[in-house]
Structure 1
Amino acid sequence: MTATLVERVLAGDQGGIARLLTRIERRAPGVAEEIAALHEHTGTAHVVGITGPPGSGKSTLVSALAVEYRRQGRSVGILAVDPSSAYSGGAILGDRIRMNELSGDPDVYIRSLATRGALGGLSRAVVDGLSVLDAAGKDVILLETVGVGQVEVDIMGVAHSTVVVSIPGAGDAIQAIKAGLLEVADVHVVNKADSPGADRTVSELRDMLRLSRRKAFQWNVPVQKTSATRQEGVVELIAELDKHLGWMREHGVLDEHVHRLSATRVRWAAEETALRDLRPGVPEFDAAVDEVAQRRTDPLTAARTLLGHHEATTPDPATNPKEG
């Protein structure tokens, strides 16, 4: 069953992708092995995160980007994340109806992920979901979040390029600073740019970017105007995103990003493996519990024994001055 589902995903089968993503959300038995089987086939998709305040037109912008990417011959995956509700399923659901140009296109896949209150689970589901779409051959994956809080900032950490969307006259520039989004944005977008005050919002953002602390060789964050409903400025936005990905490759930032995300995934896998083996009913675990209960050992020693760790493999910083 596992091999068949993995093969379906690698072939870009929509049904296979949907089934595996559902299994990921449920953390179904065997799903970790399925994700592991896909890993060697990942690493080619450009992951673009889209965030900003409600009403800024993120979903419409995601639709416009998907349409333009398809016009350029690139396949697209879309993951919409709703960190606030277990029921709404994410704002992108409404765009499934509006994205008529993409209806029935086998090279576009759209999925919503709801957290159901589990922020850590959300992060893992998002990362695994990105791997599925990457392995399925999507050239670009658009990751949309609903709000502008810390959860969104954390989620954007898995994206290669982060787009922060603002709209004219809503004080979004100040809101971006409060939410910490000024620093995480790789491209600022002022959407609904045909509305009054668009140029002022662009100027405010550019002024704040100039005043922000910059490091040597840092990416020069652009501010791009768009009108997603009119498909205006979208080509230019994609050009900026492509330019950012190229800059990441040139300066080794992409490798650093991959390394950080890989470290997180190794830790998650280790935790999941340990939790699977360390539970009542597993003979070794039950025996260790008995040893602790009878005071023949302590919990830390029992845990290290179960995990195969020894004092020699865990140096004490106090006795190793070169560390720390």
Structure 2
Amino acid sequence: MIDGLIERMLKGDKRAAARLITLVENDEEKAREIVSKIYPYTGKAYIVGITGPPGAGKSTLLDKLIRVAREEGKVVGVIAIDPTSPFTGGALLGDRIRMQRHSTDPGVFIRSMATRGSLGGLAKATNDAIKVLDAYGCDVIFVETVGVGQIEVDIVKTADTVVLVTVPGLGDDIQAIKAGLMEIADIFVINKADKEGADATYFELNLMLDLEKERWEKRGWRPPIVETVATTMRGIRDLWKAINDHKAFLEKSGELEKKRRFRAEEEIKTIVSDRIARTVGKKLSEDEISTLIERVVKREIDPYSAADQVIEKALGVKV
């Protein structure tokens, strides 16, 4: 079945691609088989992360970016990370509704994925779904994060270019940027720039970039600040140009290869960590784990020693 789906997907069958994403999302063993077989066909798509707080207009912005990319003949993939339904475990929001006019376009593939409770809002299967869309033939893949709770930083482990979307009047948003996102954002977007406070937001972002001047000079790329009004297309083409400019910079400087090496390293770490956790679950009973936890609570053993015992029993390796 999987071989047939892959063959159809490689010929441009959208339904086959959708089925493969469902399999990598829900079945660990099949995900491994699928990724192993499609991996030689991957590595061509450019991945753009769209992140930012709720209400910043990320989906509307993305809807317009799809339009501009399609005007250039690009095949576009979209993975929208949504909150998980507590009842079904599926994605709570419907991105096909938000981007409905693209759903019948054969050159656009839109898929919602649930966070499944994973920290940072990025589903574990996101990387595998990206590989499916890459092999399917997408030129650019947008990954839109859920934006729930806090602005997310996990996207840096997935995307080649990270676009951080903010809006005027969100003081907390700017504080969140100060708290760490300055390091991962490649492009800043002030959406809804026709609203009061847009100039102040631009000034604050620009000031923070000035304060980090040494970092940008070292990287060779100072993140541009693009003002947009997604509902009217204002600034959308400027944003698309900024994305392409960043791509050209990464390719010329060799940073794109470094980014993808980092991404591969992080993915391997995640897979190893997940498999160790699964092995521990198989080799140690709940009673054994509970007993160890109880001993740590009673100060009979320290957490490091407890972890050593778990690893030794589960993996047969003495730490």
TM-score by length of 2: 0.80
Q: Check 1:120–1:219 CA distance in 2 against 1; reply closer, same or farther (3 A cut).
A: closer
RMSD: 3.0
Offset of residue 9 of structure 1: 2.4
Offset of residue 248 of structure 1: 1.0
1:174 maps to 174
2:190 maps to 190
Q: Trace 1:10-89 onto structure 2 (pairs within 5 A).
A: 10-83=10-83, 86=86, 89=91
Offset of residue 277 of structure 1: 7.5
Identity %: 42
Offset of residue 84 of structure 1: 6.2
Q: 2:230 aligns with which of 218, 223, 228?
A: 228
The aligned amino acid for 1:6 is I
Q: 1:253 aligns with which of 255, 258, 269?
A: 255
Q: Distance in 2 between matches of 1:151 and 1:85?
A: 20
Q: Trace 1:1-324 onto structure 2 (pairs within 5 A).
A: 1-83=1-83, 86=86, 89=91, 91=93, 93-94=94-95, 96-119=96-119, 122-147=122-147, 152-171=152-171, 174-212=174-212, 214-215=214-215, 216-270=218-272
Q: Check 1:23–1:250 CA distance in 2 against 1; reply closer, same or farther (3 A cut).
A: same
Q: Check 1:55–1:272 CA distance in 2 against 1; reply closer, same or farther (3 A cut).
A: closer
Q: Distance in 1 between matches of 2:79 and 2:102?
A: 15
Deviations 1:124-145 (A, max 9, x none): 3111111111111111111111
Offset of residue 89 of structure 1: 2.1
Q: Distance in 1 between matches of 2:158 and 2:85?
A: 21
Offset of residue 160 of structure 1: 0.5
Q: Check 1:217–1:103 CA distance in 2 against 1; reply closer, same or farther (3 A cut).
A: closer
Q: Check 1:100–1:158 CA distance in 2 against 1; reply closer, same or farther (3 A cut).
A: closer
1:293 maps to none
Note the residue ranges of structure 2 that are not aligned, 5 or more in a row.
285-308
Q: Check 1:225–1:13 CA distance in 2 against 1; reply closer, same or farther (3 A cut).
A: same
Tell me if structure 1 keeps the 8 A contact 2:53–2:173. Answer: no
The aligned amino acid for 2:102 is L
Q: Distance in 2 between matches of 1:72 and 1:40?
A: 26
For these two proteins, the number of residue pairs brought into alignment is 293
Offset of residue 259 of structure 1: 1.1
Determine helix, strand or coil for the equivalent of 2:152.
helix
Determine helix, strand or coil for the equivalent of 1:238.
helix
- Structure number with bigger Rg: 1
Q: Check 1:299–1:273 CA distance in 2 against 1; reply closer, same or farther (3 A cut).
A: closer
TM-score by length of 1: 0.79
